Amino acid sequence: MADGLFDGDSPEFGEEAPASGRAARALSAFLELLRAERERWVLWVPVGVGTGIGLYFALPLEPPGWAGPLLLALCLLPLWPVRRRLGMLAACLALLVLAAGFAAAQWRAQRVAAPMLERQAGPVAVTGRVVSVQRLPNATRAVLEDLSIERVAAGATPARVRLRLTGKAPPPRSGERIRLLAVLHPLQGPAEPGAFDFQRHAFFDRLGGVGYALRAHETLEVRPPGPWRSLSDGFDRARGVIAERVRAAIADPGEAAVTAALMNGEQVAIPQPVMEAFRDSGLAHLLSISGLHVGIAAGIVFFTVRALLALVPPLALRWPIKKIAAVFAILAAAAYTMLVGAPLPTLRALLMTGVVMAAILVERDPLSMRLVAFAALVTLLILPEGLLGPSFQMSFGAVVALIAAYELASPVLARWRQETGFLGRSVLYLGGIAFTSLVATLATTPFAMFHFQQIAFYGLLANMIAVPVTSLWVMPCSLLAYLLMPLGLEGPALAAMGWGVAVIIWTAELASSLPGAVLRVPAMPLAGLVAVTLGGVWLAIWTRPWRLLGAAAVLAGLLSPLATVRPDVLVSREGTLMAVRGADGGLALSGRVNRTAETWLERDGAAEPEGRWPEAGSGVGGRLACDALGCLYREAGQSVALLRDPSALPEDCAAADVVVSAEPARRCGAPVVIDLWRLRREGAHALYLSPEGVRVESVRDRRGDRPWTVP
């Protein structure tokens, strides 16, 4: 947006409307505030693009392919005619930004669209080319593309599948075409309405099925790849070599797995107890290769190259060594990004690092809110689906909050640095780490509440120890290990890196074991996340006191889980697992705790279920009565029959308000019937009971009918 959009000589906004009450005065005051912050208007562009992306994903039906281009055209066409009517021009530009986000998301969905398996296939012969290989603790997982699947038509064959391979043969190499006998499964939908949608996540990775091999693979050919594929395959093989070298240098499996994850980006080999300790201590961000790691790697290379060049006076006097160091830093960041598999947070970090170094090359301020806005805009336009994930939200949330906080604190900190000595600067450094950790923790907590339903109370303490160890010890050792690996001399560097990793793991385990380390909260509603995000953006973008209005929206979003009404009855997508709410508010399960049950409990803010259903008699505070044929749950004047045996259908269909059966329930006269066919069509169900009746919500009700919603 150009400066002067709301300048005082504007025919529409220049003067206060005639005396007509509070509305006119409020509008005039609002426009005055906008004029005062005209330099920050451009920062709202990525927010508008993100809003357009969110509108696309919120639709219950897939819009026609021409919808996105048409919206763009409708917003572009009026720009020239209204160029002199600044109010209308502003409205058109705002709509254009929204349309750009909508069109980018739709174009991305159309570009990656590919068939997804709708039913199990196998055992079948599967032939495909290896895209990537992941090394698990006791097995190997490979992603295949260019597929041929026995008894699956070409038009229904997915673009990619992910298979767990047997350990009877060495893992395949990227680029090889292999054949194996495997069982393939369709991708699972959400465990309950509103839960994580793995189908949507996999759709944008072009993954159409998962499965496992029944016997060792057979290598058919190693086709000479093109330049880009050759480079990608080379980095994938390097990840395998790194994992092997790390295991050879570090004896402890947990330390070796974390060290390898920091060097090659593969977290799947990290033991579950270690992963839980990192999550519960607020240190999980150290395992997700993102801005911290890329920034540290680029910073080390930048300062090292610059220092080495400065040691040579002829070069230091005649060449722009700072700019040369910036180029090396960009190359190092790009290589590191490729080496760890180029996940979304790393690509975002690479983009931001590249912009920072480019700012150094053109002698501009490398750290500013405009830099973050540019990086967010490019990321959203290229990978719009990233907006929905915790990685994008937490990384950008932390960076935006830190820049906004340091915009306020930098003048004071600069004055303190000038007025203090070495000891004072050391204290300021430690204080800076604490301040940075505090701001980042506060900024990412709402997103952790939404995606993981927990708050890590000792995250600040843990980061005070782990972040300096990572920055000053672990990452420098990892860069040294990279340099020494081609010579086979990486052992000492990896061992030293392992010492730092051991300190980080110890910190995570200590912080997660402290009393009250983790507070589990019910799932935050989407409206709560939107309120927190927009309120936080309002706080961060504006610079004048009216920014504090955003705090009200943030507070409302943080408190929204307290107003969340959780389901009284949950039914899994297969109908084989059910849960009911007890008198004390907890969930009781009909079977063992599996991944679906874990999701229910997490979204309920609970660590453990209230208990198991009784085989016979009453339970769950008297709300549940069971016999050999099934159970009857009563609450708020409503009754829900949960069948174990189809022979109970005639009686329950005549007496219950809701009948739930994992078998077909033909000719059932109950007001609400959830049987095998309905579960297959609509996925998992949630039931809300009240004196007014029963409200039923299914996964399909929440998601709608989109390209990734496979029944």
pLDDT value for 227: 67
**Average pLDDT for 277-303:** 80
Residues 40 and 1: beta-carbon distance below 8 Å = no
Q: Locate 513 and state its tokens.
A: 């074991």
Query: Which of 430, 600, 446 has the alpha carbon at shortest distance from 528?
Result: 446
Please give the helix or strand (H or E) that residue 336 lies within, else none. helix 321-339
pLDDT value for 344: 64
Residues in CB range of 395: below 8 A, 6 or more apart: 290, 291, 345, 348, 349
Tell whether the model's pLDDT for residue 632 goes beyond 90: yes
What is the distance between the alpha carbons of residues 504 and 286, in angstroms, rounded to a whole number? 9
667 band by pLDDT with thresholds 50, 70 and 90: confident
Largest CA distance in the chain: 95
**Average pLDDT for 638-663:** 91
169 band by pLDDT with thresholds 50, 70 and 90: confident
Chain center to CA of 585: 29
Q: Percent of the chain having pLDDT more than 90?
A: 41
What is the distance between the alpha carbons of residues 647 and 643, in angstroms, rounded to a whole number? 9
User: Where do we find the tokens 């997490």?
Assistant: 602
Higher-scoring residue by pLDDT: 608, 210: 210
The domain ranges of the chain are: 22-112, 121-223, 241-520, 526-563, 569-703
**Average pLDDT for 313-328:** 85
Q: What is the pTM of this model?
A: 0.85
pLDDT value for 12: 44
Topology of the domain covering 121-223: OB fold (Dihydrolipoamide Acetyltransferase, E2P) (2.40.50)
Q: What is the rounded average pLDDT for all residues in the chain?
A: 86
Query: Which of 514, 407, 500 has the alpha carbon at shortest distance from 459?
Result: 514
Please give the helix or strand (H or E) that residue 213 lies within, else none. strand 207-213
What is the distance between the alpha carbons of residues 371 and 369, in angstroms, rounded to a whole number? 5
Tell whether the model's pLDDT for residue 228 goes beyond 70: no
CA atoms within 13 A on the CB side of 538: 17
Report CA-CA distances (Å) from 246 to 191, 193, 249, 263, 333.
37, 42, 5, 9, 21
456 band by pLDDT with thresholds 50, 70 and 90: confident
DSSP state of 387: G
- Residue 313: phi and psi, rounded to 5, are -50, -45
345 band by pLDDT with thresholds 50, 70 and 90: low
Report CA-CA distances (Å) from 318 to 305, 309, 321, 322.
16, 11, 9, 12
DSSP string, 351-383: HHHHHHHHHHHTT--SS-HHHHHHHHHHHHHH-
Q: Locate 463 and state its tokens.
A: 């980061």
pLDDT value for 385: 93
Report CA-CA distances (Å) from 544 to 110, 227, 484, 531, 541.
42, 52, 51, 20, 10
Residues 243 and 266: beta-carbon distance below 8 Å = yes
DSSP state of 473: I
Lowest mean pLDDT among 30-39, 104-113, 618-627: 30-39
**Average pLDDT for 452-458:** 88
Query: Which of 599, 669, 668 has the alpha carbon at shortest distance from 188?
Result: 599
pLDDT tens sequence across 533-585: 999 999 999 988 889 999 999 999 999 998 889 999 999 999 989 999 988 88
Query: Which of 314, 301, 303, 389 has the alpha carbon at shortest distance from 345?
Result: 389
Q: Is 204 helix (H, G, I), strand (E, B) or coil?
A: helix
pLDDT value for 8: 42
**Average pLDDT for 678-699:** 94
